[in-house]
Amino acid sequence: MTGLHDVPLTPEHLRGAVEVEHTPRGGLLPHRLPAWARVRLPDPQLLMVEAQPSGVRLALRTAATVLELEARATKRVYVGVPPRPDGVYEVVVGGAVVASGSVGGGDVLSIDMGAGTMTRSDGGAGVVRFAGLPGGPGVRDVEVWLPHDEQTELVALRADAPVAPVPVDGRRRWLHHGSSISHGSNAATPTGTWPAVAAALADVDLLNLGFGGSALLDPSTARAMRDLPADAISVKLGINLVNADLMRLRALAPAVHGFLDTIREGHPTTPLLVVSSIFCGIHEDTPGPAMPDMEAAREGRVRFVATGDPAEVARGRLTLRVVREQLAAVVAQRSGDDPHLAYLDGTVLYGEADAQRLPLPDGLHPDAATHRLIGGRFAAAAFGAGGPLG
């Protein structure tokens, strides 16, 4: 377009990505796990979600008032469910969201939750344009947050003024790992996920390793966290261990110890906070696995139900109450030798009383307002005065 010039995109323009892949189609694809870890974790669900750029943003130093981003999205389509809205891009200047938009077209990933299958078809790139961006004649820092739940291959960037990467600033790096709630499921925008809300309030640099369905104590995830720079670390565990019906009580505490041991190999004294699950009524006392509610699906709604037998808790099946007890015990056991380790009960962030007024729409994931609530409470509890990450 007249007045715009191409900006050669490089990995240096990106924040919040662990690795950036140069794709065969000539684009840049942000990843939130390194390539060696992706080889060791060949689960299709994990490979899908780690390439969804939750917390990833372009960090640009420019006087531009017009930015045009060309990207190839991967849209998810769930069989039998109404189409999902397009992912949202947000422009942030001076800490405030000043523009937003979406990219149409793209590849399509068709998911049949009942059959547990995924099929993919290729599509073309789309363009999102931001005009009239605020700012004076001089340069200022502009962030373009990528959709938190839509894989995004960056094809081209155009602007009406020169653009440079923002140098790494002196803010503390917060490295966080969790489930789909940390990833941002059911948040409306990328800056509205609870980790993004908390990071903004605490003025820290977020690296979000929240992976939908995949906070499963994978050793390779712990190794990746061990090797990443961080000034504060949190791990939010529980819901995926229960709703995947992944393990029994005997395996839980040793697996948590091993996960924390690996992180500590690279971060022996970094503040480390273990966070348990928020309140989730379907799994407080009922084990997994969680399954789609097929009656709701026939009505065009997404909802999940717990299918385990509560009587089997006595034989080692996991519920959220059991996992919270175990996490608290692990942290208490380690704290004598690790004064920089702490525990936060996730029901402090969202508890049973909150569920009465802000119920989880699909039975598992908070809505946009609840993400903001959780982010604010986490910022206060973890990064506030006297907080373990403060």
282-312, pLDDT tens digit by residue? 999 999 999 988 788 777 788 999 999 999 9
Answer yes or no: is pLDDT of 2 > 60: no
| Burial classification of residue 116, based on how many CB atoms lie within 10 Å of its CB (0-12 exposed, 13-18 middle, 19 or more buried) | exposed
Query: What per-residue confidence (pLDDT) applies to 297?
Result: 72
Cα-based torsion angle of the residue sequence 144, 145, 146, 149 in order, rounded to the nearest 10 degrees: -170
pLDDT at residue 335, rounded to an integer: 95
**How far apart, in whole angstroms, are the C-alpha atoms of residue 196 and residue 162?**
28
Using CA atoms, how far apart are residues 306 and 362, in angstroms rounded to an integer? 12
Residue 170 confidence (pLDDT): 87
Tens digit of pLDDT for each residue in 79-131?
777 777 899 999 999 999 999 999 988 988 888 876 778 888 888 899 999 99
Q: What tens digit of pLDDT does each residue of 158-195 get?
A: 999 999 999 988 899 999 999 999 999 999 999 999 99
Does residue 217 surpass a pLDDT of 90? yes
Taking the alpha carbons at both ends of the chain, their separation in whole angstroms is 47
Q: How far is CA 276 from CA 6, 173, 320, in A?
A: 46, 21, 8
Query: Could you read off the pLDDT of 331-360 as tens digits, one per residue?
Result: 999 999 999 999 999 999 999 999 999 999
Contact assessment for residue 382 and residue 272, using Cβ atoms and an 8 Å cutoff: no
* Segment 247-296, tens digit of pLDDT: 999 999 999 999 999 999 999 999 999 999 999 999 999 999 999 887 88
Give the mean pLDDT of the chain: 95
- Least confident range from 40-44, 109-113, 385-389: namely 109-113
Determine the average pLDDT of the residues in 193-209.
98
Tokens 């380790």 correspond to what residue?
A: 341
Contact (CB, 8 A) for 272 and 330: no
Q: What is the pLDDT of residue 1?
A: 44
Answer yes or no: is pLDDT of 369 > 80.
Answer: yes
Domains detected in the chain: 5-165 (2.60.120.260), 173-383 (3.40.50.1110)
What does the alpha-carbon distance between residue 383 and residue 18 come to, in Å, rounded to a whole number? Answer: 23
Q: Which two tokens stand for residue 388?
A: 């373990």
Is residue 55 within 8 A of residue 18, CB to CB? The reply is: no
What whole-number distance in Å separates Cα of residue 3 and Cα of residue 280? 52
Q: Distance between alpha carbon 382 and the CA centroid of its chain, in Å?
A: 18
Q: What is the DSSP string of 163-227?
A: EEEPPP-SPPEEEEEE-HHHHTTT-SSGGGSHHHHHHHHHT-EEEEEE-TT--S--HHHHHHHHH
**pTM (predicted TM-score):** 0.95
- Residue 67's DSSP bridge partners are 130, 159
Q: pLDDT band for position 68 (50/70/90)?
A: very high
Average pLDDT of span 360-369: 97
Residue 353 backbone phi and psi in degrees, to 5: -65, -40
Could you tell me whether strands 140-145 and 67-78 are parallel, antiparallel, or unpaired per DSSP bridges? unpaired
